[in-house]
Amino acid sequence: MSNKLRSIVCVTCIGMLVALGSTTSFAASQMVLKFAGQSAADHPATKLMNKIAKEIGEKTEGRIKVKVYPASQLGDYSLVYEEQIRGTIDMSCISVPSQFDARMELIYINGFASDYEELKTVFAEDGWMFKKMDEFNERLGVKLLGFFVEGMIGTGTTKPVNEPLNPNVNKGVLIRVPGMDVYKLAAEAMGYNSVGIPYADVYQAIQTGVVDGVNGYPVASAYTTLGDVLKYWYMTNYSVEVLNFMISEQTWKKISTEDQKIIQSILSRATIDSINKAKDLDTEQMELMRKKGIKVMTYTKEQLVPIMKAAASTWPKLEKNMTKELIDEFRKELGPK
């Protein structure tokens, strides 16, 4: 073999080894996770997802990279959840679907907390709610990491409500509620007449007078989507808008114990961070409502007791789908004291 040919062969072999070495090093050192969200790119939930992704990359020293997909780019929340079960989507910040286990509507039950400090206890990593929701998710192959709290929920209407804090008085308005018993039962227990209308049709239904208002909206959503048609906002805090940070069990098992602890710590802090920011966001959005001419009513925790008890009185009616055992436990842990 000529010296020239030997040189070509050597250079080629070295190049192949360098390329192979680089590929092997990358594969061994970095895991790329798909993080799916349902909120718009400029929504607080997505902003927090981006912050979480960056922190995971930094704290794991590049061992794990997280790529965020907002605005249902990877499918709606039901599809994303199903893909997490399969292990084809790694992480998510979504509403938890109940079609896989009706007991997961637990997170949407009304009347268990009326202020933000209570939420910090309810949604804490060592709290009953977290452990119970994690248990239900784990049976399906998904692990709960934390919660994103968007804000407390109130009632928006086009005309005044009769005695909003007295559940024994008919409110004199017909309101739209989300299509779940937890919302319908609570609204009616508080004295409202209710009807189910698809989310996409709510604005038109209010604008045309088909309904007089809505339950089930946090402040920011009510202002940004319905601010042009609402005239009154009652900040009754009877429920909370919450998304769930989750990860596929198949993905979780591939992550080292050290990095699992890092990720869990980041998401636990993110939960509390979201609650703190939700309080500020609600205050900010109610001020924008006032500037727009919407009459805003706020109340103390003590003033809200009657309607919170009214909402809690409906819990036994949820036993049919969520089991008596779960509702009894829920009442013991989070019911009125």
* Residue given tokens 């086009």 in the structure block: 158
User: Quick one: pLDDT at residue 14?
Assistant: 43
Asked whether 131 and 107 are in contact (CB, 8 A), the reply is no
Check pLDDT > 70 for residue 26: no
User: Quick one: pLDDT at residue 29?
Assistant: 56
- Return the percentage of the chain with pLDDT > 90, whole number: 83
Asked whether 56 and 77 are in contact (CB, 8 A), the reply is no
Check pLDDT > 80 for residue 129: yes
Residue 219 tokens read as 């402040």
pTM of the prediction? 0.84
Which architecture, in CATH terms, is 3-334? 3-Layer(aba) Sandwich (3.40)
Where are the strands (E) in the chain, listed by range?
31-37, 64-69, 91-94, 142-157, 174-177, 193-196, 213-218, 232-248, 295-298
User: What is the DSSP annotation of 253-289?
Assistant: HHS-HHHHHHHHHHHHHHHHHHHHHHHHHHHHHHHHH
Check pLDDT > 70 for residue 13: no
C-alpha to C-alpha distance for 33 and 127, rounded to whole angstroms: 27
208 SS3 class: coil
Check pLDDT > 50 for residue 222: yes
Residue 145 tokens read as 């990491």
The contacts of residue 137 (CB under 8 Å, 6+ apart) are 96, 104, 143, 144, 246
User: Quick one: pLDDT at residue 43?
Assistant: 86
pLDDT in tens, 279-308: 999 999 999 999 999 999 999 999 999 999
- Among the residue ranges 19-28, 92-101, 164-173, 283-292, the one predicted with the least confidence is 19-28
Local confidence band at 247 (pLDDT 50, 70, 90 cut-offs): very high
Q: Which residue has the higher pLDDT, 201 or 5?
A: 201
Summarize the confidence of residues 152-175 as an average pLDDT.
Answer: 97
Check pLDDT > 50 for residue 312: yes
Summarize the confidence of residues 8-17 as an average pLDDT.
Answer: 44
Summarize the confidence of residues 151-180 as an average pLDDT.
Answer: 95
Summarize the confidence of residues 149-154 as an average pLDDT.
Answer: 94
For all residues of the chain together, what is the average pLDDT?
Answer: 90
C-alpha to C-alpha distance for 239 and 186, rounded to whole angstroms: 9
Local confidence band at 189 (pLDDT 50, 70, 90 cut-offs): very high
User: Quick one: pLDDT at residue 27?
Assistant: 40
Summarize the confidence of residues 146-161 as an average pLDDT.
Answer: 96
Residue 7 tokens read as 């040189």
- Return the percentage of the chain with pLDDT > 70, whole number: 91
User: Quick one: pLDDT at residue 179?
Assistant: 84
The contacts of residue 166 (CB under 8 Å, 6+ apart) are 191, 306
